[in-house]
Amino acid sequence: MKATVYHGARDVRLESVDDPVLREPTDAIVRVTRAAICGSDLWFYRGITQWDPGDRTGHEFVGIVEEAGKSVSSVAPGDLVIAPFVWSDGTCEFCKKGLQTSCVHGGNWGDDRNGAQAEAVRVPQADGTLVKAAPEIVHGSPHLHASAAALCDVMPTGHHGVVSAQTQRGGTVAIVGDGAVGLCAVLSAARVVGAERVIAIGHNPKRLARAREFGATHAFDSHEPGIAEEILELTRGGSPAVVEAVGNQESMDLAAEIARPGGTVAFVGAPNAIDKAPLRPAFVKNVALRGALAPARSYIDELMRHVVEGSIDPSRVFDLTLPLDRVTDGYEAMDRRRAIKVLLEVSN
């Protein structure tokens, strides 16, 4: 089969590799129909985080079950399934609390050369990991299938940021970041949680316009001087809920600055470019800082219902669709900010 392989900074290649096989009775083999490139993939692509040459890339995929181990009972060959961005057993104490990212028997896609930007994936702990797609998605339009791909990571991550920031129905939330996760946070705040005032902050005019379409009531260019003061004035002292969806120092500092005393900042942007947490402003204002590695598996069913009902359409974060054999073009497009998020069409 074909799979995407890391060779160094800005060097990923689609190569022929061995087909995956069942290793444990809890495994499943999934033929990938759609995969995605994540903003967090750019950390290793740009050489900010270090990977080993030969590592497989990708952690978001939707596909058809080809084989299931003898202990797998929740899915069967022929099922269309959605895979969260980590795998988990579904039975440990953390999974039972809805924290599948802390599963004691779980792991990450890419481990053991098992990445998702490929034609097929071996899924460990299939019962605890895979989610069967709703019939409306199975038999639905291409945009519903794209929405299913967004449920692997960015939509649950944006939603987790909104929930972790303790956003209230009818309340106010500020979202720092106009990438796919930030846009999905806007979608969650406006269409799922029902916040009355949703403040989107970024520096790409097209993305801020998309945030407006997703339900943002206000949009601010983070590169404009004095925006923190404008937001503090708008909110009469700061937003009680803030979602940081970038993962760099500037965005984290801004998030802490615009938080209301007694409020909460949830950081869902992978913090690979943050040198220090804004502890002083958090201390002075009694602001809670909440780490927010999203347990996507715990949200997929709920968010899939919203997709089927039509209240959210996260497929719109994908503004470039490419076949798998152009995966390198997809990385380049996201690296150069020509695309918010790339959808890879693998097979039908």
Residue range 138-163, pLDDT digits in tens: 998 888 999 999 999 999 999 999 99
Enter the tokens of residue 234. Answer: 């708008």
List all residues 6 or more positions away from 60 whose beta carbon is below 8 Å from its beta carbon: 35, 36, 38, 83, 85, 116, 149, 152, 153, 154
Confidence class of residue 277 from pLDDT cuts 50, 70 and 90?
Answer: confident
Domains of the chain: 2-153+295-345 (3.90.180.10), 155-291 (3.40.50.720)
CA–centroid distance for 315 within its chain = 12
Buried-state track 167-182, b at ≥16 Cβ within 10 A, e below 16 = beeebbbbbbbbbbbb
Confidence class of residue 32 from pLDDT cuts 50, 70 and 90?
Answer: very high
Q: What is the mean pLDDT of the chain?
A: 96
Asked if pLDDT for residue 185 goes beyond 80, the answer is: yes
Enter the tokens of residue 135. Answer: 């019939």
The 10s digit of each residue's pLDDT in 191-207 is 999 999 999 999 999 99
The whole-number average pLDDT for the span 26-44 is 96
The 10s digit of each residue's pLDDT in 228-270 is 999 999 999 999 999 999 989 999 999 999 999 999 999 998 8
Per-residue DSSP letters for 284-324? HHTPEEEE----GGGTHHHHHHHHHHTS--GGGG--EEEEG
The pLDDT score that the predictor gives to residue 344 is: 98
Q: Indicate the DSSP class of residue 191.
A: I
The pLDDT score that the predictor gives to residue 270 is: 84
The pLDDT score that the predictor gives to residue 348 is: 66
The pLDDT score that the predictor gives to residue 269 is: 87
Phi/psi at 97 (nearest 5 deg)? -90, 5
Asked if pLDDT for residue 40 goes beyond 80, the answer is: yes
Enter the tokens of residue 139. Answer: 């038999």
Asked if pLDDT for residue 273 goes beyond 80, the answer is: no
Report helix, strand or coil for 116.
Answer: coil
List all residues 6 or more positions away from 16 whose beta carbon is below 8 Å from its beta carbon: 1, 2
The pLDDT score that the predictor gives to residue 49 is: 87
Rg of the chain in Å (alpha carbons): 20
d(CA 156, CA 288): 21
- The predicted model scores a pTM of 0.96
The pLDDT score that the predictor gives to residue 274 is: 82
CB-based burial label for 78 (10 Å; 0-12, 13-18, 19+):
exposed
The whole-number average pLDDT for the span 323-341 is 96
Asked if pLDDT for residue 25 goes beyond 90, the answer is: yes
Pairing, β 239-244 against β 218-221? unpaired
d(CA 336, CA 323): 19
Strands (DSSP E) found in the chain: 2-8, 11-16, 28-37, 61-68, 80-83, 86-87, 107-108, 120-123, 131-132, 172-176, 197-202, 218-221, 239-244, 259-267, 288-291, 320-323, 342-345
Asked if pLDDT for residue 63 goes beyond 90, the answer is: yes
Longest dimension (CA), the chain: 61
